[in-house]
Structure 1
Amino acid sequence: MAATRSNRSAQPRPSGFFACAPRPAARRPAHIDAKAAGLAARPPARTIPASGPGERPGEPRWRTTGALPLTLLVRAVARSCGRAITKSPFDVGDSNAPQGGTVSKQLEPLGIKRLEGLHYYVHDLERSRRFYCDLLDFAETWHSSPEVEATGRQRSIAFEAGRIAIVCSTPLGSGGRAARFLSRHPDGVGTLTFEVEDIEHTFRLIEARGGTPIDDIATYEDDGGTLRQFSITTPFGDCTFRFRQRSGFRALFPGAIAKGASSPSEANCFGFQTIDHITSNFQTMSPALLWLEHVMGFEPMWEVAFHTSDVVPDKAAGSGLKSRVMWDPNSGVKFANNEPKRPFFKASQINVFNEELHGDGVQHAALTVTDIITAVRGLRARSVAFMPTPGTYYDMLPERIAKSGIDAIDEDIELLRELEILVDGDHHHAYLLQIFLRESSGLYGDDRAGPFFYEIIQRKGDRGFGAGNFRALFESIERQQQTEGDR
């Protein structure tokens, strides 16, 4: 049976692609806690049978996030090329504040333990099965029950490797969440799922800060224990956030049936471990940055801004981006957020991505591995396609490494050149290695597969985002789009 939900009437989608529904002007400041907001303790959520991985029936057909308090002043994005942020770029101006300090009050953490996984809506579920199982060596661990499929009008399969969980769903007829998402977009990420310590605590803080829950906390049971969860709307296009607290619950999602053939430990020959970070693209990222800081309680971590005109000033065409990374220091969950940069705004690969996705949304997920050399070599042997890296990158690599302050790297540069793996870091023996798969539409030769892609990363002491590789990713996508445009 489906979870009981509050009755909400569907509203018409507002005109304009990025239009938002108006919000009442009288709002509490975003930083107040639940007690200050006068919220009484919520009654225990009702225990109900397990349902399904997606949103339950009655879900609104569109969502918008209300405006944040208008007193917040957004600082200009720095034009530096990749630097850590020590002062919040979204604080409220205060001439009496200490110079270099953070004016914004540090919010109480939501109690996030980790980013559990993502829910991906696809046109072709069997194609996804081949990609995750046959190419990436993920284990097919769970699938939706007939009851869940009848209720949610979508079929779901879970793929796992290490502590990474990917749920793919495809429509069964019309009216379900998957069908609504795919009626507006190509394949893409519709939900990001977080595991939290105390679901009641998380719910109270989000609601007190002006977050928009889709539903109340629902509780599910199986023979192992309980799972409690709720979802909220976000400024990330049609992507929602789901929060879960597990207490012995065996299934990955409510209403899941164990596949039984394999487990994450039995597969995973490439050593996938966790989701390192999520990167999303926006036409304008300020609303998402403000929301991440004042609702989610994330903190600014890193930023970069550059343009091709910085390198070739007289070029008649070009592209650029601005990016800021927000993170939860307690869990280490990181979100990189991009927007196009003028001039040639429309030519930016960020804008191109948004046009292909038909809105803002998740661009890629970075997956950590234990040994990137072995992983990439094995994936290439299975004909997995990666974004190209020019040979000149490796010609200049020793000089770049020296300028970054890295004493030495363990890997042979010629082997990195052969596998097209990128290197970056900022001090001594701390660095990272990364590579980017081609976008899904390129992997499958099908525009309906969408522009989402995966990054593979191995961190060797460096916990940040290397500016050199961030730019290398951008230029790699630019080259790929230019090649496709010339066909």
Structure 2
Amino acid sequence: MQTPPDDPMAAAGIEFVEYTAPDTQALERLFVTLGFAAVARHRSKHVTLYRQGDINFIINHEPNSFAQAFACKHGASVCAFAMRVQDAASAYKRALKLGAKPYRGPVGPMELNIPAIQGIGRSLIYLVDRYGERSIYDVDFLPLTGTPARVDGVGLTFIDHLTHNVRKGRMDEWASFYERLFDFSEIRYFDIQGQKTGLKSRAMASAGGKIRIPINEPSDRHSQIQEYLQAYGGEGIQHIALATHDIYTTVESLRERGVKFLDVPETYYEAVERRVPGHGEDLERLRRDRILIDGATRQQDVGLLLQIFTETVIGPIFFEVIQRKGNEGFGEGNFQALFEAIEREQMQRGVL
């Protein structure tokens, strides 16, 4: 379904993800390790912009701010993200009419007043209609000396999706939130059961698919989703999926930099040829890099998805690296293997 060109909510992607922490130095080191570079600082606030490809990460360590209050409650966390929309003012007005809760923060002289509403776990969703060559950073940020116009880093290119974790019984409520306010629709539904725990998930997407937001809820009190909720101090963003055009090179570069990924059992790779026949990937390199593969192979149509997940790196939050080869899913065939891998790790820690 295509979004009408005059729709103010027409979503063109995620402009930035904003992070905070009681002490942001660990975030700064993490982003550099992930291949990002600091490219600009806010004109009047303790806010730094990191970039790689078309991915913008913001670290907010402004004293006495919304971000610092959020960090006091959640620790290192994602306190906001921004949606690219066609008309931010109209989109904001429409969202309020439909029941969204507004947020109004302090704005300095000659700075943009970016509209925002409350989102998951009282984090913020900013609505941005200045992006690309004419962006919000041109007004509110000062470029750092010596930074390149483009940061290629380890080959990460854009934000593929943001996954939310919510309390049991709240998945449908948050799915409705995105349906009602932003014209999202459900594109996938999952009900996953491990040896001892389970989860349910509804994957939501904007018209045109530029923004994807899976929403998970726990099936029981020992679920890894429930553990996240307890560690995080409430609902929030569980992981950020970052796209690449060459997952092997990206993952190998990240490993060289010290990034640790979730381990995958050897039996997973023994079953790849049976599960995804004719995939055409280098199975030995896939196995060596511990990359997951999913998709369907048909006579003249191969739709594959390659993905891998880091260990938790920002409190209970982790990152996913993903490469799509004609597959628009979320690695449904890998969910069980991933779920069981995390469950084994929970068992090792004595949580289960």
TM-score clears 0.5 = yes
Task: Give me the whole-angstrom Cα distance separating, in 2, the residues matched to 1:380 and 1:436.
Answer: 12
- Aligned-residue offset at 1:205: 2.1
Structure 1 contact 139–264 (Cα < 8 Å) conserved: no
Question: Are the structure 2 counterparts of residues 163 and 439 from structure 1 closer, same or farther at C-alpha, using a change threshold of 3 Å?
Answer: same
2:214 aligned partner? 336
- Aligned-residue offset at 1:263: 3.1
1:418 aligned partner? 288
2:221 aligned partner? 346
1:278 aligned partner? 162
- Aligned-residue offset at 1:264: 5.7
- Aligned-residue offset at 1:233: 1.0
Task: Give me the whole-angstrom Cα distance separating, in 1, the residues matched to 2:109 and 2:10.
Answer: 20
Return the letter of the residue paired with 2:256.
A
Match of 2:30 among 119, 131, 134: 131
Match of 1:438 among 311, 331, 336: 311
Task: Give me the whole-angstrom Cα distance separating, in 1, the residues matched to 2:114 and 2:246.
Answer: 34
Residues 67-466 of structure 1: pairs in structure 2 closer than 5 A: 110-133=9-32, 135-145=33-43, 148-149=44-45, 155-172=46-63, 175-215=64-104, 229-234=114-119, 236-246=120-130, 249=134, 252=137, 255-263=140-148, 265=150, 267-283=151-167, 284-308=170-194, 318-341=196-219, 345-402=220-277, 408-428=278-298, 429-440=302-313, 449-466=314-331
Question: Are the structure 2 counterparts of residues 220 and 190 from structure 1 closer, same or farther at C-alpha, using a change threshold of 3 Å?
Answer: same
After superposition, give the CA deviation of every residue in 1:113-170 in whole Å (9 maximum; x if it has no partner). Answer: 211120001233222222212x22212111233xx23xxxxx2211101110000122
Task: Give me the whole-angstrom Cα distance separating, in 2, the residues matched to 1:278 and 1:126.
Answer: 23
Return the letter of the residue paired with 1:166.
F
Return the letter of the residue paired with 2:270.
D
Runs of 4+ residues over 4 Å off in structure 1: 218-222, 247-251
Question: Are the structure 2 counterparts of residues 215 and 415 from structure 1 closer, same or farther at C-alpha, using a change threshold of 3 Å?
Answer: same
Please identify the structure whose Cα radius of gyration is greater. 1
Question: Are the structure 2 counterparts of residues 243 and 268 from structure 1 closer, same or farther at C-alpha, using a change threshold of 3 Å?
Answer: same
Query: TM-score if structure 2 supplies the norm length?
Result: 0.90
Q: What secondary structure sits across from 2:115 in the alignment?
A: strand
Determine which structure has the larger helix proportion and give its number: 2
Return the letter of the residue paired with 1:416.
L
Structure 1 contact 303–323 (Cα < 8 Å) conserved: yes
Question: Are the structure 2 counterparts of residues 432 and 196 from structure 1 closer, same or farther at C-alpha, using a change threshold of 3 Å?
Answer: same
Task: Give me the whole-angstrom Cα distance separating, in 1, the residues matched to 2:291 and 2:29.
Answer: 25
1:468 aligned partner? 333
Return the letter of the residue paired with 1:361.
G
Return the letter of the residue paired with 1:261.
G
Q: Which runs of 5+ in 2 are unaligned?
A: 2-6
After superposition, give the CA deviation of every residue in 1:171-194 in whole Å (9 maximum; x if it has no partner). Answer: 53xx32122112211211110111
Q: What secondary structure sits across from 1:112 in the alignment?
A: coil
Return the letter of the residue paired with 1:410.
G
- Aligned-residue offset at 1:350: 0.3
- Aligned-residue offset at 1:399: 1.0
After superposition, give the CA deviation of every residue in 1:255-284 in whole Å (9 maximum; x if it has no partner). Answer: 32211222362x323211110001010113
Return the letter of the residue paired with 2:332.
A
Q: What secondary structure sits across from 1:346 in the alignment?
A: coil
2:4 aligned partner? none
How much is the aligned-residue C-alpha RMSD, in angstroms? 2.5
- Structure 1 window deviating more from structure 2 (239-248 vs 383-392): it is 239-248
Question: Are the structure 2 counterparts of residues 238 and 210 from structure 1 closer, same or farther at C-alpha, using a change threshold of 3 Å?
Answer: closer
Task: Give me the whole-angstrom Cα distance separating, in 2, the residues matched to 1:458 and 1:220.
Answer: 42
Question: Are the structure 2 counterparts of residues 114 and 366 from structure 1 closer, same or farther at C-alpha, using a change threshold of 3 Å?
Answer: same
Structure 1 contact 278–364 (Cα < 8 Å) conserved: yes
**Length, aligned pairs only:** 341
Return the letter of the residue paired with 2:335.
F
After superposition, give the CA deviation of every residue in 1:194-217 in whole Å (9 maximum; x if it has no partner). Answer: 12111233123212222222249x
Question: Are the structure 2 counterparts of residues 472 and 264 from structure 1 closer, same or farther at C-alpha, using a change threshold of 3 Å?
Answer: farther
Return the letter of the residue paired with 1:455.
E
Structure 2 contact 194–339 (Cα < 8 Å) conserved: no
Q: What secondary structure sits across from 1:294 in the alignment?
A: helix
- Aligned-residue offset at 1:249: 4.6
Q: Is residue 342 of structure 2 the alignment partner of residue 477 of structure 1?
A: yes
After superposition, give the CA deviation of every residue in 1:440-467 in whole Å (9 maximum; x if it has no partner). Answer: 1xxxxxxxx4101110000011012231
Question: Are the structure 2 counterparts of residues 270 and 240 from structure 1 closer, same or farther at C-alpha, using a change threshold of 3 Å?
Answer: same
Task: Give me the whole-angstrom Cα distance separating, in 1, the residues matched to 2:210 and 2:140.
Answer: 30
Question: Are the structure 2 counterparts of residues 179 and 200 from structure 1 closer, same or farther at C-alpha, using a change threshold of 3 Å?
Answer: closer
Question: Are the structure 2 counterparts of residues 254 and 212 from structure 1 closer, same or farther at C-alpha, using a change threshold of 3 Å?
Answer: farther
- Aligned-residue offset at 1:386: 0.4
- Aligned-residue offset at 1:381: 1.2
